Structure 1
Amino acid sequence: MRLNIAVLPQPGTQHRIFGEPQWRQLEVLGRVAANERAGKPEPEAVRQLLKGADIAITSWGCLPFTEELLSAAPNLQAILHAAGTVKGIVTPAVWERGIRVSSANGPLGIGVAETALGLTIASLKNMWSLVSSTRAGGWYAGRENVRELYEVTVGVIGAGQAGRHYIRLLRQFGVNIIVYDPVLSAEQAAELGACKTELDTLLAESDVVSIHAPLLPATYRMINRDRLMAMKDDAILINTARGAIVDELALVEELRKGRLFACLDVTDPEPPAEDHPLRSLPNCVLTPHIAGAVGNGVKRLGQFAIDELKRLVAGQPLEGEVRQEQLATLA
């Protein structure tokens, strides 16, 4: 029996997550009904797409699966989300109906971790300052501040998908890796190749601090003035998670002292005001939220959703499965 597959994102998003190879794979797996309406989805149009659906593929901009929508798809087995967090689409009705949910947080985290590693290496190498210096005609000035990713301590805040992959990448280097995550055990940290520690210890001991925590009430401005002041001189702070985890006013104060270096891919809000000091401080590198899936990397999320569907058909575990009890600690 062939599956009925509803592809719910609007056409522009479909184009981002699927290329021709992905569409061909979907057509082999079942009958595909794709959203052809551009713009914000209308509930009734989504209901029509869901009629008789066994599988729903979602991504950015999709509606929550309310009881009203789900009533059109009594046979729906799984929602495969070709994006990160599922909090915006999952409702209690989904769990009540026993519908399985999968998120592409894993492949999304690959891009985040790779970006964090690139920022780590470039910052330790003092590349940002050296580029400015050489453009101005210099050559040797600043080379004395170059460090290697060797015999330094890297602190990882958050051991979700992105944090774990960042740790895996760091294991290729001769560095000491410490991690803070309240739901991670010491044994799990050791299996990853890191040493579990408390947040204040991590901040005091790390040469590089990379934030990969979800934004939750407990993590809102978790990196506050006191914790920033506790960081080592010349330490590097990298945030590819959520801007609101860091108290930006306090960070500006510390950056103005010249003690720290920051690489921020996220801010609170986004974008920051045109005259925000983070845009002009020489010891702050600001990028426009590019650490996750961008450009050709977005296809990785669509392919992951298709691979999850293949695993579902084969009776294999879903690699990105999200369970109801996990939602409280997920981004």
Structure 2
Amino acid sequence: MPKLAALFSPERAADVIDPETRRLLEDRFDVVWATADHTTGPGSLAKPPALDPAAVPLLAEGADVLLSSWGTPHLDKELWSDGNGPKVVAHAAGTVKNLIDPVILDQGVGVFSAGPRIAWSVGEYCLASMLTLARRLPRFDGAVRGGGWKQTEFRGHELAGAKVGIIGASSTARALITLLKPFGCDVVVYDPYLSAERAAELGVRLAELPETSESAFLTIHVPNVPETKGMISRELIERLPDGAVVVNSSRGPAIDQQALLEHAVAGRIYAALDVYDPEPPELAESALRAENLLLTPHIAGDTAEGHLALAGYVLKDALQWLDNGTRGPSFVDPTLWSIAA
């Protein structure tokens, strides 16, 4: 029976492994579970303890599969130095860029990430934020809480039929595109790596960055790479139409945060921010009071159902890859490493 090492705390295991997946693990593998003795501290429900880096080689010795998640230390390439290292790294979380050295991809190691599953949770967040701000719900909520009622000076707007600009055709963007289909939106996408054929398959049209920014709704879905730092510049923010809704759930450095906040505090645009630069953010009182800003603490991909599904999502693909070499949706393609999130 192949051996699997679960390289995270018992608390994290309870967070990302549902009962069905736990049974699958025990049926298919000789599982080595980390214990509290392998972790760095007590942790909490909101932030389970991390695994002690010194415990990784002990738990991983002789393992065919490494199951990782948040709190797993960097998996040093030395784990594969003798040529007989694990065949699979299945990451029950998002990006693997800070988890592995890409050199192991050249050794035929199958790496899997639950990023595409998290993308659905993020897509729901983006849709919810767009609808919430389009209908001006925070303003109406504040009015009622303050003893008011109807707000005759403004009305909400509909998402249906609106122009939606999407920057970056990532897995989160594709999830949002699926969720937008019933609304009949004019979806325009800027992504230099997206082909016309793939855009047609997604039911969107390609556009350059300036045109994409001139949308009633603008959502950002780019990786944290040097090319994306500051790509949503002050100039592009100024091109947004009055009353536009901006959602950033990808990376804080991708946008000129100061320019965005200036336009939002002035009341010209609405924005939902789940990521910041830096994190946690240091926001002025004017921004904290602004009812046209929806501020959340980097939780777009954090749902109860989504977290419990993560281990099962990557293990399904990892098992198919081990059994017959099939590359499922969570497979990390080595050829796309440089542009991956």
User: TM-score under structure 1 normalisation?
Assistant: 0.93
Structure 2 equivalent of residue 24 of structure 1: 23
Structure 1 equivalent of residue 258 of structure 2: 249
Matches within 5 A, 1:277-316: 277-315=286-324, 316=326
Matches within 5 A, 1:190-209: 190-204=200-214, 206-209=215-218
Residue 144 of structure 1, CA deviation: 4.4
- The match for 1:45 among 55, 61, 66 is 55
Say whether 1:67 aligns with 2:113.
no
Residue 57 of structure 1, CA deviation: 0.7
Deviations 1:266-304 (A, max 9, x none): 111122126454322232111111101333421121221
Structure 1 equivalent of residue 5 of structure 2: 6
| Separation in structure 2 between the aligned mates of residue 283 and residue 307 of structure 1, nearest angstrom | 42
| Separation in structure 2 between the aligned mates of residue 274 and residue 177 of structure 1, nearest angstrom | 32
Residue 191 of structure 1, CA deviation: 0.9
Whether contact under 8 Å (2:18, 2:309) holds in the other structure is no
SS in 2 for 1:57: strand
Whether contact under 8 Å (1:125, 1:145) holds in the other structure is yes
Whether contact under 8 Å (2:112, 2:318) holds in the other structure is no
Q: CA RMSD in A?
A: 1.9
**Matched pairs, number:** 329
SS in 2 for 1:322: coil
| Separation in structure 2 between the aligned mates of residue 64 and residue 93 of structure 1, nearest angstrom | 14
Matches within 5 A, 1:69-148: 69-71=79-81, 74-141=84-151, 144-148=154-158
Residue 313 of structure 1, CA deviation: 4.0
Whether contact under 8 Å (2:77, 2:100) holds in the other structure is no
Residue 117 of structure 1, CA deviation: 0.4
Counterpart of 2:255, as a letter, is: V
Deviations 1:182-202 (A, max 9, x none): 100122112101111011111
Structure 2, unmatched stretches of 5+, are 41-49
| Separation in structure 1 between the aligned mates of residue 53 and residue 280 of structure 2, nearest angstrom | 30
Structure 1 equivalent of residue 189 of structure 2: 179
Structure 2 equivalent of residue 272 of structure 1: 281
Residue 325 of structure 1, CA deviation: 2.4
SS in 2 for 1:218: helix
Residue 125 of structure 1, CA deviation: 1.2
Structure 1, unmatched stretches of 5+, are none
Whether contact under 8 Å (2:216, 2:243) holds in the other structure is yes
Structure 2 equivalent of residue 229 of structure 1: 238
Counterpart of 1:226, as a letter, is: E
Say whether 1:261 aligns with 2:260.
no
| Separation in structure 2 between the aligned mates of residue 165 and residue 142 of structure 1, nearest angstrom | 36
Residue 63 of structure 1, CA deviation: 2.6
Residue 72 of structure 1, CA deviation: 7.1
Counterpart of 2:27, as a letter, is: V
Counterpart of 2:12, as a letter, is: T
Say whether 1:156 aligns with 2:166.
yes
| Separation in structure 1 between the aligned mates of residue 230 and residue 150 of structure 2, nearest angstrom | 39
| Separation in structure 2 between the aligned mates of residue 274 and residue 254 of structure 1, nearest angstrom | 14
Deviations 1:32-81 (A, max 9, x none): 01121222434442112111111111111223332322347815211111
Greater shift after overlay, 126-135 or 273-282?
273-282
| Separation in structure 2 between the aligned mates of residue 217 and residue 234 of structure 1, nearest angstrom | 30
Counterpart of 2:122, as a letter, is: V
Deviations 1:216-239 (A, max 9, x none): 111111111111111111111111
